[in-house]
Structure 1
Amino acid sequence: MSRLVVFSFFRYSGLRVPDAFLRMGFQRFLMDRRLLAGRIRLMGCGGGDGFSVVPDLGAYCLMRVFADPGDEARLRRSRFYRAVADASSEQLHFTLNPVSGRGTWGGEALFEYRGGQQPDRPLVVLTRARVAPTRARAFWNSVPEIRRQLRETPGCPYHVGFGEHPLLTLATFSVWEDLSRMQAFAYRTTPHHRAGRASSQEDWLSESMFVRFAIERIEGDLERYPRLAALMESLERSAKPIFSAAPPRLGV
């Protein structure tokens, strides 16, 4: 387990799109065996902010979890990372510190939680669901409403969905301005409604995960995401900045 977690989101355009799709499918052949391959995952994003069963072949998520912070620098020098990053037309990189969570990813407890989330600091929430095949239709019928609510929530400047399998897994990655706004979204329904919803979905999922992260750093093409950029600017003006400015291109 590790406290260093990095999520990168890449977009591709034009002739780079089919190449990116092939890289995801054959990532094991590009991966240096000396890297912690079990904790490096290149996954596809769905259409419509990732919340669609139809994939967006031009958008991908690279998640990595390292025990040694130096592994991130080694990864960025690797053939695998250069193949993914150099061809992209857009990048966002989130360096995170796991605060609290529950559940597993592929049966593995990936994260070591340090606790102590500060309520006035921005955070990232990661959820992941592996859906029982017999309940896939019901699960995906519920997803558009979640997407709509996220898009309409003022305290969530960025969200995206991705997964390893387009039908049976969905992970959501959302950035929140503070803990209270995230909780207001998560607990917006009545306790009776929440209890009923949890009961009805109990047999939908064969595995699930919910994790909160403190944000250590955000890098990349933030000018394309005004709400993220505005959040960063406000933090830079405050006495407690948590974002650091960095060159937007990290492929080299």
Structure 2
Amino acid sequence: MNDQTAVLGLIDIASDARGWGFSRYILGKRPFHHIPGLLFCKVLGSGMNGGFSTTPSLTKQGFFCVFDSEHHAARFRESSLIVKAYENHAHEFFTATVKAYSSRGSWSGFSMSCSDPNPPSQGPIASLTRASIRPSKAIAFWKKAKPAEAAIAHASGKILTAGVGEAPYFRQATFTIWDNAQSLEQYAQQGAHLAAIKAAYGQSYFSESMFTRFKVIQARGVWQGKHVNIT
């Protein structure tokens, strides 16, 4: 039985640890090698203020790791040296442990598997949207992204939002947590976000994309001044 479980981390590096933080970009995925059960890993940066921005942040970072089981994901979150190192060098630190119930597309050729295709009947869910933006479509994409980001800031039922990515301008991702599936649907199917999605598909903005929704197993920590504790 498939038991894929992902851990997403968001980190705002402390002011006295910026050298260490910068070294994360140089090292990339190397500190994550040989972690038991790890299937997929991305080391991420973020835009200014932790959101979508054409100006990269110097301190806000992240990682996204997929494991073959909930056991290995929990072991990574609770006892891995790299997670503890991030936490020790952070001004803000947040992690979410999640299981996909819906996913389409891929990320660097990797596709998420779903153990249960049914969304939870109640309780929080998370969403990850990532894309490789075609260079010829970058300007058009960013024009659509700005209104969508402004809309999500005022969306009802949003618990947390973060803009992350592998590279500025062209490899972007958005991670959000919502009170329930209904809150996410209400945001996704109207206004600036709906217009952005229609444009992205209609005009082939992306060379690769992945849209995944998750059941939240656990989420805790601080991001952009907000404390989250979901167990």
TM-score (norm 2): 0.86
Q: Percent identity?
A: 22
Q: For the residues of structure 2 that align with 1:102 and 1:68, how far apart are their CA atoms?
A: 20
Name the CA shift for 1:90/1:187 in 2 (closer, same or farther; >3 Å): same
Name the CA shift for 1:193/1:217 in 2 (closer, same or farther; >3 Å): closer
Q: Deviations over 1:213-240 (max 9, x none)?
A: 01111122489416x4xxx6xxxxxxxx
Contact 1:32 1:78 in 2 (8 A): no
Shift of 1:200: 3.6
Shift of 1:38: 5.6
Q: Does 1:84 align with 2:119?
A: no
Contact 2:100 2:114 in 1 (8 A): yes
**Gaps in structure 2 of 5+ consecutive residues:** none
Q: For the residues of structure 2 that align with 1:93 and 1:102, how far apart are their CA atoms?
A: 23
Q: Deviations over 1:3-44 (max 9, x none)?
A: 211111111121312321221221344343455666122211
Letter in 2 for 1:219: R
Q: Higher Cα Rg: structure 1 or 2?
A: 1
Partner residue, 2:216: 215
Partner residue, 2:135: 133
> How many residues get paired?
228
Shift of 1:204: 1.1
Name the CA shift for 1:136/1:180 in 2 (closer, same or farther; >3 Å): same
Shift of 1:129: 1.1
Letter in 1 for 2:214: F
SS at match of 1:8: strand
Contact 1:31 1:79 in 2 (8 A): no
Higher share in strand:
2
Contact 2:51 2:162 in 1 (8 A): yes
Q: CA RMSD in A?
A: 2.7
**Gaps in structure 1 of 5+ consecutive residues:** 233-242, 245-252
TM-score (norm 1): 0.79
Letter in 2 for 1:154: S
Partner residue, 1:144: 146
Q: For the residues of structure 1 that align with 2:4 and 2:168, how far apart are their CA atoms?
A: 28
Partner residue, 1:9: 10
